[in-house]
Structure 1
């Protein structure tokens, strides 16, 4: 009686309490650092706008076909379908844990025959059979709040899974835009290479006529043909890259590779931004990026886990009752067959306190590791964003310089061909400037492709596109 009274008093003292720490983002967390919440260092360039990033950033390109491809991918992408299924499963886990604090019921019944005092054998039919039927009901009081903390942890985990699903949406939107742009930039590169090849073929034709007319040499013809062959050899690789981008786009949209969007094969120019990229600031980035939200929710779940373990230090009280019948079949419905029980059931792992304290300490270590991972996620997100912004701004500068170099090379080629026709320069000069033009065209086309690619890196780093 004294032990029962002590346990009952402890249970009453626990009523209304919740074991373990209440969760809040730690003040020392990187996400609260002023330097993490201010303007981006690389965002001061004229290529950027401090206004907030729109939810559906790909619409900044004002390209209806791109918008349609992204929407199809967000509806049919296989990775997103799997992520949605994982989110549904996490929601069901929450429901399971929440059911732990509701009234639990169970009904048992059975019929059997037995020989008392000996082994259970196959009993002849003339022996009496015994039957039992009972019902149990129980309700956990959760005085220490262990179930409550478990529900908190399950909900936090589900929210982390939801953020992970959002990250998949971000990745899919960026990958679709990148593949779309890859097809278009391949066509731009193909057109540039073809222009150079046309110039080189005209030069080769001129060299051949001069050789046949006795004004040139076979060496001149060979050098001109070698330059044209080199440009022609680049075309199959460009076509292969374009086809790979088309196949990738089909896969992202949940299609078979053979069902790639053939209307895109003729895309003449990549999607183009008509305005500086709106990037917002660090505070908006930290709120928006799904990987940061997922990491913060895992920290919250780990903190709730401390409460789950701490609650085991205290008595667990369950209100329970049962009633039923048990007797031979002939006497089953008589009053003597009925029995019932009602009262509190108390369990307490008091002798194992060293084990419980070790488990609590381990849960605290998990929370510390989750905080470190949360800080690391924030730092990495900021690094990725600053790097993407800087790379894009510098690629714009490089593209402008390469465009000027291409224009100069084209002008030099035109001048060299005119001089050659009037006999005022030699074939070597013509081939040299044509080679310079070919290199300038190829480098500029590569820069244009890199420019769009770096734009998408910026959008990916900013973490937008998951919003529905």
Structure 2
């Protein structure tokens, strides 16, 4: 008993000391540029304030706000990501349980017959003893791995980092899903504007056809004028099916994000609405804060942390391991005295395990973990560089789309004036119908370009918000 107490004291001291082998994780440093590119900033479109985490409200569209409000609760991928977080949390507790005392109970009964020619033939049985007997036993066993060199602690650290990675992966998915929803919504309103423009031009073409038919009946217009007017009307009507198909696909895309069956949102979204306006300026923060905000970068950092901790697990496998074990119970040949004091039995003491020869398994496991950690470092660096590039690309695309707006508006105004003049000259008989056809086609093209430009401004702004890494918080608020 004195020796056992001495072992317990030594093991307790070693456990309290908390020797943990392997490298400690330190958040990787990032040398970020002092500011973003000058092109968007010079246009007065961005400024360096904190990134807006509820940026979809800045479009001032109640329908978009309503769709986002339903997204976090209904999206199936977000629900699956939540389950992966629960799995990672459970795995962490599984790893932590290895460092806690373990206990189990077993009970047994057996009717035995011993061979008279077996090992017991070496001893002379007591007078009247039988080789057939009942045997009752119950045992309470306990053990506690002291984790002297931190194998369990490093494993828990790795699983905790994996849990953080799962959480950041859900944040990244929430941001991507939000951006997909907003992009599809902007595209839907853009397509609906294209449908409205096409229908307006169909109405103009129909009135022109009526005019040509009237003039043809009066002998003023020619057969060529009549054919051109009819061809123009048919061409415009032929554009509608593709636009209507795109409208249906975008409505279904939004419905899919909300886990709705096809056409479930048709009644809600087929009513045309104006293309949402964009804010005059966008807060973009500074590059040095991007690594602390973008979920994909934070997930890569968490995976690097887990890989670093796994090196500690592999390193601890080279060191001795001590487990305190003990068992107590009773053994009896009769059920009557099964719980009697003389039937008790117990054993207690430490078990020392020392790796002597493992065929290279420990060495190559350590090398494997070190290589995985180096790969995680590269993945982290790649995530940071990719994030900077995405922000710069999105800012440039947004600025260029805004710059193109002025020229597109100018082209629309000139084409509208040209179409009006051509129509008036045809009414007065000063020009043929070919000028009307040409100017209306140019007008339709510039109107479509104006709607497409507005849609591009909106979608590139959504891409910029996504690249900046803000907005995933909506899913966390909805989950509470």
Fold in common (TM above 0.5): yes
- In structure 1, what is the equivalent of residue 162 of structure 2? 157
**Separation in 2 of the partners of 1:428 and 1:435?**
11
Uncovered stretches (5+) of structure 1, i.e. residues with no partner: 120-126
When structure 1 is superposed on structure 2, of 289-298 and 358-367 the one drifting more is 358-367
Q: Does 1:24 align with 2:22?
A: no
Q: Does 1:305 align with 2:310?
A: yes
> 1:417: how far off?
0.9
Q: Answer whether contact 2:278 2:458 (CA < 8 A) is retained.
A: no
- In structure 2, what is the equivalent of residue 122 of structure 1? none
- In structure 2, what is the equivalent of residue 288 of structure 1? 293
Once the two structures are superposed, what CA deviation does each residue of 1:135-175 show, in whole Å capped at 9, x if it has no partner? 11112211101111111000000000000011111012112
Query: Equivalent residue of 2:269, what SS?
Result: helix
- In structure 2, what is the equivalent of residue 185 of structure 1? 190
When structure 1 is superposed on structure 2, of 264-273 and 360-369 the one drifting more is 264-273
**Separation in 2 of the partners of 1:412 and 1:118?**
119
- In structure 1, what is the equivalent of residue 468 of structure 2? 462
Q: Answer whether contact 1:40 1:282 (CA < 8 A) is retained.
A: no
> 1:360: how far off?
1.3
When structure 1 is superposed on structure 2, of 387-396 and 245-254 the one drifting more is 245-254
Q: TM-score, normalization: structure 1?
A: 0.91
- In structure 2, what is the equivalent of residue 450 of structure 1? 456
Report the number of matched residues.
451
Q: Answer whether contact 1:11 1:143 (CA < 8 A) is retained.
A: no
> 1:10: how far off?
11
**Separation in 1 of the partners of 2:74 and 2:81?**
12
Choose the corresponding residue for 1:321, options 292, 301, 326: 326
**Separation in 1 of the partners of 2:423 and 2:263?**
45
Q: 1:118 to 1:183 in 2, by over 3 A?
A: farther
- In structure 2, what is the equivalent of residue 117 of structure 1? 115
Q: 1:21 to 1:434 in 2, by over 3 A?
A: same
Query: Equivalent residue of 1:447, what SS?
Result: helix
Q: Answer whether contact 2:251 2:263 (CA < 8 A) is retained.
A: no
**Separation in 2 of the partners of 1:151 and 1:40?**
42
Once the two structures are superposed, what CA deviation does each residue of 1:381-408 show, in whole Å capped at 9, x if it has no partner? 1111111111111111122211210111
Q: TM-score, normalization: structure 2?
A: 0.89
When structure 1 is superposed on structure 2, of 445-454 and 313-322 the one drifting more is 445-454
**Separation in 1 of the partners of 2:94 and 2:39?**
47
Query: Equivalent residue of 1:317, what SS?
Result: strand
Query: Equivalent residue of 1:329, what SS?
Result: coil
> 1:43: how far off?
4.1
Q: Answer whether contact 1:43 1:50 (CA < 8 A) is retained.
A: no
**Separation in 2 of the partners of 1:118 and 1:25?**
70
Q: Answer whether contact 2:311 2:370 (CA < 8 A) is retained.
A: yes
Choose the corresponding residue for 1:271, options 267, 273, 276: 276
Uncovered stretches (5+) of structure 2, i.e. residues with no partner: 1-5, 118-131
> 1:41: how far off?
4.6
Q: 1:444 to 1:97 in 2, by over 3 A?
A: same
Q: 1:461 to 1:34 in 2, by over 3 A?
A: closer
When structure 1 is superposed on structure 2, of 175-184 and 240-249 the one drifting more is 175-184
**Equivalent residue runs for 1:180-259 within 5 Å:** 180-259=185-264
**Separation in 1 of the partners of 2:69 and 2:116?**
73
**Separation in 1 of the partners of 2:439 and 2:63?**
39
Q: Does 1:370 align with 2:376?
A: yes
Once the two structures are superposed, what CA deviation does each residue of 1:41-94 show, in whole Å capped at 9, x if it has no partner? 554232222211111111112333322210211111101110011111111111
Q: Answer whether contact 1:53 1:279 (CA < 8 A) is retained.
A: yes
> 1:371: how far off?
0.3
**Separation in 2 of the partners of 1:418 and 1:461?**
50
> 1:250: how far off?
1.7
**Separation in 1 of the partners of 2:66 and 2:207?**
42
**Separation in 1 of the partners of 2:387 and 2:46?**
18
